[in-house]
Structure 1
């Protein structure tokens, strides 16, 4: 499993990591012994000079100047089966949460409150996983107050098995009792990066970069309204991210039998984004110019991003798609994604 450099200050305490580090000079170790070793476990502490990893054999303190390479890896699954289907509903919510940024994040016990000036529902909703640390009714009161201060409608992303009903969940029942409305049911799909990369149909080159540039953002702005500074903060707010694009100048467009309206200068006509967190890659912001649809460009970008994630040692992917978008769901399932769970947005009245 390849290791990639990891800035430990960007990895949250509690994340599962593997760290390769140089062994110090040890008079008890034979000269021909190994010079490096790996520590795999939970990151429990870090200082300017060292990190502490809780392994099966106990805590290991690793001086930072001895670290050769490291990476965050997926949490140990609670269920058997294919690795991408093994996480529980709650575990997948924790995994997927950081893959989409937010301007502001706050904690209510284990719950996370996110606000981004109204840009995207994911960036402006509560991730209610775990214990809020207060009685349920008090937790809802605090949520309503927190969003009211920011001039935003209180919103909760409530997850459950595929087809679940919010009223059957204790939090969902409390919100519905208060007059909150449920809508925008969304499917969580998961897959192995290998399967998605293998579905690559071929085609034009895909440019992949870790930086959000103006041309990518200009293409993204054609799919939804953007908010200066806020949008870039959200798109660039994951622990890691990759931005993919296909740009078609006049020559390449003609080669593919396509026409480029207006300028012949290269411009992105298809884009996609991966948010990297907890050893998973979260696919989002997938868009193709209406004049270039039906040519497999979205599939090409998805497969290329999966291949890049796999090359970086990430083997699992997730994405969110509206549950009533039958066309998109069929495309994703043909690629190799499977239905894992649902979530529903509940929004406070007024």
Structure 2
């Protein structure tokens, strides 16, 4: 298992982790000076952290930690690693890949609010138990969003094509007047499959910073909310921003418009949020004037390749179920449908 020199103080509590740390004394049998602890990062203070392993809690001094990384949840079914995760666990994995201005929890449920910017940034992920009777939990959620002048919204997951009314929570929400919409597919893949599908193309710029040109171009793709948009885009444990920008002799290669050829404004964008041991692809966009040239595929493959340096081997993305062109693109690259979800919004 490859470990990355991550700062364990930045890994969210509740994450599944592997922590390598120095022993106070070498092991008598092997003379080993290092050991690994795998489990859930349950607590942390200024001097120690606790990992809940299969053999019980392990308390580790921060000063003894050499490397640490988030790792995916354990597979729950047979198949390729990117498909072997349960639907609930994939929902958990996807949470850190998209930011939010504000996060809270109700039991195991995750509540997110971002001044209305994106449905993902303003919805509940109702996975696990809320720690309350279901109807009481829904009332608590509604009050939480009402305090932020937002409608309550639930991202309810299930198999592809599932009926929200067949789920106990979904049935309750529909009875309360919630509207079912924005049905979305969860696609997953192996990093190496996507990287190998690169059709080739112009130079790709990858960086950790949300630059002005990237953000200005992104604002052309959808309605944004100043302040909230930046917080959401930056709000993953690790983020990579990818773009393709005119220059470097691309005018002839791409048939660039004269107005674009000498500019620095990106003509293709993508974002990769890294968390829970997975890379989450999003914000993929190509200037309409340059679509059909493989830029989105090239950019996606470049981001997949960048995950090697992160020690992350699995990817996910979300695409609306009726976005046929995008689904065709991602299937060609090697993504497969894992599950789906729908938003149930308070009426």
Would the TM-score normalized by the shorter structure come out above 0.5? Answer: yes
Q: Which residue of 2 aligns with 1:6?
A: 6
Alignment of 1:266-277 (within 5 A): 266-277=264-275
Is the Cα contact below 8 Å between 2:101 and 2:232 reproduced in 1? yes
Alignment of 1:1-350 (within 5 A): 1-26=1-26, 29=28, 33-249=31-247, 251-261=249-259, 264-349=262-347
Q: Using the TM superposition, give the Cα deviation of residue 330 of structure 1 relative to its aligned residue in structure 2, in angstroms.
A: 1.3
Structure 1 range deviating more: 129-138 or 312-321:
129-138
Q: Using the TM superposition, give the Cα deviation of residue 260 of structure 1 relative to its aligned residue in structure 2, in angstroms.
A: 4.3
C-alpha RMSD over aligned residues:
1.8
Deviation sequence 1:31-90 (CA, Å, 0-9, x none): x94443333222233221222223344443332222222111101122221110111111
Deviation sequence 1:285-311 (CA, Å, 0-9, x none): 001111111111111110011111123
Deviation sequence 1:87-113 (CA, Å, 0-9, x none): 111111111012111111122221111
Q: Using the TM superposition, give the Cα deviation of residue 169 of structure 1 relative to its aligned residue in structure 2, in angstroms.
A: 0.7
Q: TM-score, normalised by structure 1?
A: 0.94
Is the Cα contact below 8 Å between 1:2 and 1:312 reproduced in 2? no
Q: Using the TM superposition, give the Cα deviation of residue 228 of structure 1 relative to its aligned residue in structure 2, in angstroms.
A: 1.3
Is the Cα contact below 8 Å between 1:3 and 1:312 reproduced in 2? no
Distance 1:91 1:310 in 2: 23
Which blocks of at least 5 consecutive residues in structure 1 are unaligned?
none
Q: Aligned residue pairs: how many?
A: 347
Question: The residue matched to 1:268 in structure 2 has which SS?
Answer: coil
Q: Using the TM superposition, give the Cα deviation of residue 25 of structure 1 relative to its aligned residue in structure 2, in angstroms.
A: 4.3
Question: The residue matched to 2:267 in structure 1 has which SS?
Answer: strand
Distance 2:24 2:258 in 1: 60
Question: The residue matched to 1:62 in structure 2 has which SS?
Answer: strand
Is the Cα contact below 8 Å between 1:101 and 1:235 reproduced in 2? yes
Question: The residue matched to 1:301 in structure 2 has which SS?
Answer: helix
Is the Cα contact below 8 Å between 2:246 and 2:260 reproduced in 1? no
Distance 2:309 2:10 in 1: 21
Is the Cα contact below 8 Å between 2:25 and 2:33 reproduced in 1? no
Q: Using the TM superposition, give the Cα deviation of residue 263 of structure 1 relative to its aligned residue in structure 2, in angstroms.
A: 6.6
Is the Cα contact below 8 Å between 1:250 and 1:259 reproduced in 2? no
Distance 1:233 1:42 in 2: 27
Distance 2:321 2:334 in 1: 17
Question: The residue matched to 2:329 in structure 1 has which SS?
Answer: helix
Is the Cα contact below 8 Å between 1:249 and 1:267 reproduced in 2? no
